[in-house]
Amino acid sequence: MSKTVIIASTDRGVALGNRIRTEFPKSLLVSTRPHEQATQIDSIAAFLENNFSAFDTLIFVGALGICVRSIAPYLQDKQSDPAVINMDDHSRFVQAVVSGHVGGANDITRKVAAAIGAQAVITTSSDLQELWALDTLAKEFGWKATPSADMNALISLFVNNKRTALLLDIKDKGTAWLEKHLPAFVDVYYDFDQIAPSQYELLIAVTYKTYTLNIPVLHFHVPVLHVGMGCSRDIETDQLETSVYEQLAAQQLSPAAIKAIGSIDVKHDETAFIALAEKLQVPFITYTAEELNTQQVVNPSEVVMSKLGVHSVSEASAMLLSRNQELLLEKQKITVPSGKKHTIAIALDSEVVRKAVVAIVGAGPGDAELISLKGKQLVETADLILYAGSLIPEEITHYAKKEAIVRNSASMTLEEQIGLMEEHYAKGHLIVRLQSGDPSIYGAIQEQMTIFDEKGMDYYIVPGISSFQAAAASLKSEFTIPEVVQSIILTRGAGKTPLPENEKLNEMAKHKATMCIFLSATIAKSVQEQLLEHYEPETPVAVLYRVSWKDEEIYTGQLKDLAQIVRENKLTLTTLVIVGVAIGARKNRSHLYSPEWKHTFRTGKALKAK
């Protein structure tokens, strides 16, 4: 947790400082003014002399001049200076003063301004232009910045909108963000050979390689390289290190991009491997012979098999580490000056390889704005989108890019859907399969995943808001009430598909939990009869048709009238039934926000001034 001090110059400033302390747990409020809510200090100058470097964030409440004169003697550089913010004691303006990007002053300024309703004053050029903050991207996305020239010079080129080429050798959360927020003067490339350097003044490369050009290059090296190695016992540490670096350089691979080193378990105590891992600050991971033999390697060795019982150490280790069967560097055999030998193979982490993938995305209950941010971003970038028009609003597909293929799958068989996906998968496309609500709840995705597994198609799932959650919102209800009901049951009635013996509705009803019953409107009478075995007839019930859609219908009543409500309103498909005393309940209070309840973010304790 970062250390924050709020320095107030006036009584009004102390009151305002105490107000914003709630945004910074365990922060310290100091003032030269005697005040029961602040720690009194003799002078700001004396306090900063002893404490300037002890805090990550300094928030001054008072005149900007006091702030500037107070911090001036202690400023070093933006890489080490704390974030300094100044705000007037009438809460009109909050200004980032020092370390806007690296120290986070700009973000803190926005946070404080939002908390008190003030105007945030940001003077950093890239922020004002809504450009990438090149000096903080590495920290934000877990990369390592390696500029070919002075970083400030490269930033100057960028904020002055000089033509820039962006090379993306991998894909991750950061590259997706860059693509989504691409400035007009930046062109994106996925192949270095396609770039004409003479057309640009700056190259930004998110990569695992090192590029040398006649224009400045800002490398963002991503830890994605997995190095597998074998060696002679007690190989010299310095000679192994030199050899590895030479191999990397020969392939234009950066040591800064190494994520892990691997070998066979009999090498767990090999000094040279351990030392290299420590220098690179990466883990050294070993595998058993049995694990290594699970890999189909390019260059198996009968010699290694006879000695260690494995076909490969270096290639197999790299494959296991990376979960990738393709190698960037096949096994190399190197003899170091001492005469001892080592092997090396390198693979790229499978998670960052630019390849086809299927994203099964929860589209939410019906309202197009209830899709998750991640889901929306995937729809915006997808090459193929499949959705069931009867269950998912067409408005969600309006987020798609112009060149995307968008198909309503309602009239397609599963085989036809898979066939279309395979066509796009073969082209390396991003495929989005939209599922109503949350895919994990009656999403019928198991059969799709089975086929994906059989065909070796990579996929992942993005959760969505379920209709039962949208129902709670529409009913303005919390489904778990302190000391009344603390469980929610998601289930359905026994229709054409029978229920497991221990999941019959009358058995589930014994718990008297908040029950959310899906896919059961056509058997409402049976549902009512089973629930009445344990719920009181007057138990609140809500029947929701197409919840959160524009034509949403909500009917409330008592359990004894459930079948009548469904019948009279002719409800069948896309109907959800909620049963339980939590519907509309208001009386009981949670301990979470009780004044007597203490927790990590509300301890009542403050830091002490030195």
* CATH assignment of the domain containing 298: 3.30.420.180
The secondary element (H helix, E strand) that includes residue 97 is: strand 93-98
- Does residue 309 form part of some domain? yes
| Same domain assignment for residues 77 and 28 | yes
- Does residue 601 form part of some domain? no
CB 144 within 8 A of CB 256: yes
| Same domain assignment for residues 313 and 381 | no
* CA 575 from centroid of its chain's CA atoms: 33
Q: Using 50, 70 and 90 to split pLDDT, how confident is the model at 206?
A: very high
Q: Using 50, 70 and 90 to split pLDDT, how confident is the model at 507?
A: confident
Q: Using alpha carbons only, what angle is made at residue 540 by residues 534 and 541, rounded to the nearest 5 degrees?
A: 95
Q: How many percent of the chain have pLDDT more than 90? A: 75
**Count of structural domains within the chain:** 5
Which tens digit of pLDDT belongs to each residue from 518-564? 999 999 999 999 999 999 999 999 999 999 999 999 999 999 999 99
Amino acid sitting at position 511: H
Domain boundary among 465, 483, 513: 465
| Same domain assignment for residues 461 and 473 | no
| Same domain assignment for residues 269 and 209 | no
- Does residue 486 form part of some domain? yes
| Same domain assignment for residues 368 and 393 | yes
Q: Using 50, 70 and 90 to split pLDDT, how confident is the model at 462?
A: very high
**Alpha-carbon distance 52 to 70, whole Å?**
10
| Same domain assignment for residues 339 and 389 | no
| Same domain assignment for residues 9 and 46 | yes
Q: Using alpha carbons only, what angle is made at residue 576 by residues 571 and 582, rounded to the nearest 5 degrees?
A: 130
The CATH number that applies at residue 538 is 3.30.950.10
| Same domain assignment for residues 453 and 476 | no
Which tens digit of pLDDT belongs to each residue from 425-444? 988 889 999 999 999 998 88
How confident is the prediction for the chain on average, in pLDDT? 91
| Same domain assignment for residues 319 and 392 | no
- The pLDDT of residue 231 is above 60: yes
**Beta strand spans in 185-293 (E):** 186-189, 202-207, 217-221, 225-231, 258-264, 284-287
The CATH number that applies at residue 172 is 3.40.1390
CA distances from 442 to 157, 447, 507 (A): 53, 12, 20
**Three-state secondary structure call for residue 371:** coil
The CATH number that applies at residue 85 is 3.40.50.11220
- Does residue 390 form part of some domain? yes
CB 27 within 8 A of CB 77: no
| Same domain assignment for residues 76 and 179 | no
- The pLDDT of residue 158 is above 80: yes
- The pLDDT of residue 1 is above 50: no
Alpha-carbon Rg of the chain, whole angstroms?
31
Structural domain for 208, as ranges:
137-221
- Does residue 130 form part of some domain? no
Which tens digit of pLDDT belongs to each residue from 67-117? 999 999 999 887 889 999 999 999 999 999 998 888 889 999 999 999 999
- What local confidence, expressed as pLDDT, does residue 608 receive? 45
Domain boundary among 327, 352, 377: 352
- Contacts with 339 (C-beta within 8 Å, 6 or more apart), sequence order: none
- Does residue 606 form part of some domain? no
pTM of the model as a whole: 0.65
- What local confidence, expressed as pLDDT, does residue 113 receive? 93
- Does residue 92 form part of some domain? yes
- What local confidence, expressed as pLDDT, does residue 270 receive? 96
| Same domain assignment for residues 141 and 115 | no
- The pLDDT of residue 601 is above 50: no
**Three-state secondary structure call for residue 580:** coil
**Three-state secondary structure call for residue 331:** strand
Amino acid sitting at position 352: V
CB atoms within 10 A of CB 288: 12
In sequence order, what are the beta bridge partners of 483? none
Average pLDDT over residues 584-589: 65
- Does residue 226 form part of some domain? no
Which tens digit of pLDDT belongs to each residue from 25-66? 889 999 998 988 889 999 999 999 989 989 999 999 999 999
The CATH number that applies at residue 456 is 3.40.1010.10
Cα dihedral 217→220→221→222 (10° resolution): -150
| Same domain assignment for residues 264 and 336 | yes
- What local confidence, expressed as pLDDT, does residue 266 receive? 95
Domain boundary among 92, 123, 154: 123
Which tens digit of pLDDT belongs to each residue from 313-336? 999 999 999 999 999 999 999 999
Please report which residue ranges of 364-504 form alpha helices under DSSP H: 373-381, 414-425, 446-455, 467-474
